[in-house]
């Protein structure tokens, strides 16, 4: 079945993570994504490793964010490359780029020129720190922005700023970019005009601060890292059992009254009877809980807690997640036939429509794999004008 964006054509000038993650999500929804890459080297993530796979050393990093796309090679600093991009723009619905501010202008494709070529073109531009302001043109990779935008200050053990182990700033920016593109496409149905959608890694992280942000902006309380604990809720975090650790989240009084007897505590004990009381004695409470948990295994405690309706979970390694039947039952692993590697598994899309099983996916493309296909399509479009 075609996806909901079937018929939408996207020109993808982006590279690395935030832009390619956004265009992959749009491709998962059925859009045709034409990835424009530099001749010879392509998207720099093609060279990011180890690990690499196969004899031709395919980067697993590149594979993670480029399924369901076509790849063409263009030198955008050459007259021929710019002519081809001009042709693509005329027949596209969306253009995505994550160059530094001013690069598109220098290439000869400022916003005004793009909309002159195609008034209905939706343009998504993703930067590190924003398009203007005192640091608007500053380059920024995910880890840099995690530090600058506050994630590291509230992550990890107390006093040890730590980055999240995933490219979370990139992924947040990609999600915001996808939302902006979809909104702009919808708006175009009313106006006929394509909007310019701008977001950044900085904006996306600050926009996701949630309660950590309002702790400061409203209460004047600057958050600090608390490890795996929750700054406002207890018990909520990681606890040791006889053979490992599990996560437990007791976020309201009803859950507390179910949880406390399981670990030998009186729910009306004045030390722990209310959420503020528990938060104020979190170390003492954690010690009491772990004394009880030490008497049995993680598996036994998860069964006991689950039976009582108390939110709890295992701490799985990445390999365990991909072998977990729940992951596979949700279509979160997809198999594609790679032209060099054969059948490979990739992290799957997070959305379903009408409960349908995930549709068939195409592998991340080889560099320039679709040069002839895309040029033939352009010729056909121009003949039909």
User: What amino acid positions are annotated as catalytic residues?
Assistant: 170
Residues 6+ positions from 351 with CB-CB distance below 8 Å: 28, 29
Distance CA 215, CA 239 (A): 26
In the block, tokens 């793009």 appear at: 114
Among the residues of the chain, which ranges form H helices?
18-28, 60-63, 79-90, 103-106, 111-117, 142-148, 168-191, 201-206, 211-217, 253-262, 275-280, 282-293, 298-307, 318-323, 325-329, 371-383
Among the residues of 48-78, which ranges form H helices?
60-63
The DSSP symbol for 1 reads: -
Residues 6+ positions from 100 with CB-CB distance below 8 Å: 127, 137, 139
Closest CA to 349 of 337, 362, 358, 360: 358
């Amino acid at each position: 079945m075609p996806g909901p964006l079937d018929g939408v054509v996207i020109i993808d000038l982006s590279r690395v993570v935030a832009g390619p993650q956004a265009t992959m999500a749009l491709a998962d929804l059925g859009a045709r994504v034409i990835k424009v890459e530099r001749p010879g080297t392509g998207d720099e993530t093609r060279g990011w490793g180890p690990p690499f796979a196969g004899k031709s050393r395919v980067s697993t990093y590149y594979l993670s964010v480029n399924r369901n796309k076509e790849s063409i090679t263009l030198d955008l600093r050459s007259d021929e490359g710019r002519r081809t991009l001009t042709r693509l723009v005329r027949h596209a619905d969306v253009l995505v780029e994550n160059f530094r501010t001013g690069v598109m202008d220098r290439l000869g494709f400022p916003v005004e020129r793009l909309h002159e070529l195609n008034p209905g073109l939706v343009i998504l531009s993703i930067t590190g720190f924003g398009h203007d302001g005192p640091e608007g043109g500053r380059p920024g990779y995910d880890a840099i922005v995690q530090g600058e935008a506050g994630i590291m200050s509230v992550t990890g053990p107390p006093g040890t700023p730590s980055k999240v182990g995933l490219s979370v700033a990139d992924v947040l920016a990609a999600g915001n970019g996808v939302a902006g593109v979809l909104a702009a496409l919808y708006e175009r149905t009313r106006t006929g005009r394509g909007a310019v959608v701008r977001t950044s890694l900085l904006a996306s992280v600050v926009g996701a601060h949630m309660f950590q942000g309002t702790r400061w902006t409203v209460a004047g309380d600057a958050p600090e890292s608390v490890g795996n604990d929750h700054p406002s809720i207890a018990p909520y975090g990681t606890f040791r059992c006889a053979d490992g650790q599990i996560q437990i989240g007791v976020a309201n009084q009803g859950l507390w009254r179910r949880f406390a007897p399981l670990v030998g505590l009186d729910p009306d004990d004045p030390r722990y009877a209310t959420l503020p009381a528990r938060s104020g004695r979190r170390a003492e409470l954690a010690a009491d809980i772990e004394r009880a948990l030490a008497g049995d295994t993680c598996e036994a405690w998860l069964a006991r807690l689950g039976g009582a309706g108390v939110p709890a979970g295992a701490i799985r390694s990445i390999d365990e997640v991909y072998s977990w039947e729940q992951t596979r039952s949700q279509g979160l692993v997809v198999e594609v036939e790679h032209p060099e590697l054969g059948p490979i598994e990739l992290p799957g899309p997070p959305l379903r429509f009408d409960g349908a099983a995930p549709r068939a996916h195409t592998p991340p493309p080889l560099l320039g794999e679709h040069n002839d296909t895309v040029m033939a399509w352009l010729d056909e479009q121009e003949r039909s004008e």
